[in-house]
Amino acid sequence: MTEVRPLTLLSEDEKLFQSEIERFAQTVIKPKVLQMDETETMDPGLIKQLFETGLMGIELPDQYGGAGGSFFMAILAIEALAKVDPSVSVLVDVQNTLVNNIFLRWGTEAQKKKYGPLLASQKVGSYCLTEPNSGSDAFAMKARAYDEGSHWRLEGKKIFITNAKEADIFVVFANAEPEKGYKGITAFVVERGTPGFAVGKKEVKLGIRASSTCEVLLDNVKIPKENLVGEYGKGYKIAIETLNEGRIGIASQMLGLAQGALEGALKYAREREQFGKALNDFQGVQFQLAEMATEVEAARLMVYNAARLKDAGLPFVKEAAMAKYFVAEVAEKVASKSLEIYGGYGFIKEFPAEKFYRDAKIGKLYEGTSNMQLQTIFRLLEG
């Protein structure tokens, strides 16, 4: 008889890894959350600790300085961090599922040897795709790349770039032949400090406020020819395939957020008394918590399924889009219900409910809006 293995059942190594990250989040990150949110700044000491714990290079192989883990382990880490602070979670998410992934899959051996150890041990990475007139239509980009013989020259502007304030290594997408449309888009690596390269205005946001979101400005930026990543004109392919995996990362972030909001509501409902008894003695509250827990578990199944498929080398794009769409919906709903269970206390910063509520909205917006996920799902249903 074939053994049935539930999707949420973790191996012993995965359990240990998850518990270690959860302990790290509770002991190291939690005391800093409120201050980082209020100051809209990621604590530099915390970033250093993220590198020291191996969280910034989970999938990178040993020979490139990484932890040699699986994609699924990266997803577990993102989830565990988001239970405490989605801002920290997205920093780790972008580093692993986007930036490291690009070098691992498309970088030359020289690029892997140069940037892998840096990204695993000390340098934050950033993924530069979005532009003022290029959001969901990501390939309507205006940033230009000019081949000038001995070097490339980049011109343009990127916006809404995550990790830009902290990053030293930027993967930048620009069009080398606009007349070819998306087939001219090419990826390049640019290091902070390159003349003409600048990180511009930092956005003030509703949620994930400690996570930096900035402009990136390219003004006569000259980079070596070897800084081209992947094949010339294949930037669109790199962007699409990377974001397919990134969707699972965002879904995992929203899963952790929903779990954190649920756990907070459960704790508060046990401790808060009204009319002489605990909130969770009221059937109405019990039903709300039960519904929230059911939706979080369904979300977890979808995220883990998509991640397992990816690690197994099986088709996962539809499942990734479904996970991102569904879990973003669940996170917003659970965060809202959690805040309501706190009552008036949910509306003040003393409790985590209001921050989870603010942080949840971004799940429907970045790395592909919910409408874009629905479009992807329908297209794949049609074959």
- Cβ atoms of residues 319 and 306 within 8 Å: yes
- Cβ atoms of residues 25 and 80 within 8 Å: yes
CA angle 184, 188, 194 (to 5 degrees): 130
* Catalytic residue check, 367: yes
Give the number of residues written for the chain: 383
The DSSP annotation for 137-154 comes to: STT----EEEE-SSEEEE
* Residue tagged active-site, from 3, 273, 367, 382: 367
Buried (b) or exposed (e) across 340-355, using 16+ Cβ within 10 A? ebbeeebeeeebbbbb
- Cβ atoms of residues 242 and 344 within 8 Å: no
Helix (H, G, I), strand (E, B) or coil at 214: strand
* Residues in Cβ contact with 267 at an 8 Å cutoff, skipping those fewer than 6 apart: none
- Nearest alpha carbon to residue 222 among 184, 185, 189, 195: 195
Alpha carbon distance 89, 374 (integer Å): 25
Helix (H, G, I), strand (E, B) or coil at 170: strand
Catalytic annotation, residues: 367
